[in-house]
Amino acid sequence: KNALIVSDFPINTYRTVEEARSNAAKLVEAGAHSVKLEGGLRQADKVKAIVDDGIPVMGHLGMLPQRVKEEGGYKKKGKSDLEIEALLEGALALQEAGCFSIVLESVIPNASRQLTDQLNIPTIGIGCGKGNCDGEIAVITDVTGAYPWFVPPFATQRADLAGQTTEAVKAYLAAMKNR
């Protein structure tokens, strides 16, 4: 009833300011209340344009799933002073451009705490340690065990959806063979 619907921009749908504005409008038209995009400094112009169009934007820093191959895999961010400085520069640019909050994904706890303390907007952590961000996200595929071949070390799997799905399909196939 009072949920905020934040739509993630699909990969390669916000390469230019014009493309970002157009696709943000389409996402809102489809029912989103706001949009989320990955990246810091290089996304600030897009964030500002979307916000200027009246659409709230959530940022996303740290491990960026849409760029995981470019970045050499799933790795913790904020391990060095240089990485923390780059994250902070990106976070401040997103805040200045108008983001209402920023997701920090797989950022080491100390760096997450530093970023949270230096921003005036909420941070929402994914795998950033307990209490280092203003809020926390649990990814549904991690919680449900939908992808057993990849469960992040910080995730708590609460079900075995992949296993249940496999068993259901086997039962269906057996029933079809025995008709």
Nearest Cα to Cα of residue 56 among 11, 4, 104: 4
Determine, yes or no, domain membership for 164. no
Determine, yes or no, domain membership for 157. no
Nearest Cα to Cα of residue 138 among 107, 101, 102, 105: 105
In the chain, at which residue ranges do the beta strands (DSSP E only) sit?
6-8, 34-36, 57-62, 101-105, 123-126, 135-136
Looking at residue 103, which CATH number applies to its domain? 3.20.20.60
Determine, yes or no, domain membership for 142. no
Determine, yes or no, domain membership for 144. no
- pLDDT computed for residue 150 by the predictor: 80
Determine, yes or no, domain membership for 66. yes
pTM given for the model: 0.88
Phi first, then psi, for residue 153 (nearest 5°) are -60, -25
- pLDDT computed for residue 54 by the predictor: 98
Determine, yes or no, domain membership for 35. yes
Q: State the catalytic residues.
A: 105
For each successive 10 residues of the chain (179 residues), what is the average pLDDT?
91 97 98 97 98 99 92 91 97 99 97 98 95 92 86 85 92 91
Cα-Cα-Cα-Cα torsion 128, 69, 152, 42, nearest 10 degrees, comes to: 20
Determine, yes or no, domain membership for 38. yes
Determine, yes or no, domain membership for 166. no
Note whether 104 and 115 are within 8 A (CB): yes
Overall number of domains in the chain: 1
Instruction: Map residue 145 onto helix, strand or coil.
Output: coil
Cα 77 from Cα 147, distance rounded (Å): 23
Domain that holds residue 106: 6-137
Note whether 94 and 40 are within 8 A (CB): yes
| Spatial strand order in the sheet of 135-136 | 6-8, 34-36, 57-62, 101-105, 123-126, 135-136
**pLDDT tens track for 77-122:** 999 999 999 999 999 999 999 999 999 999 999 999 999 999 999 9
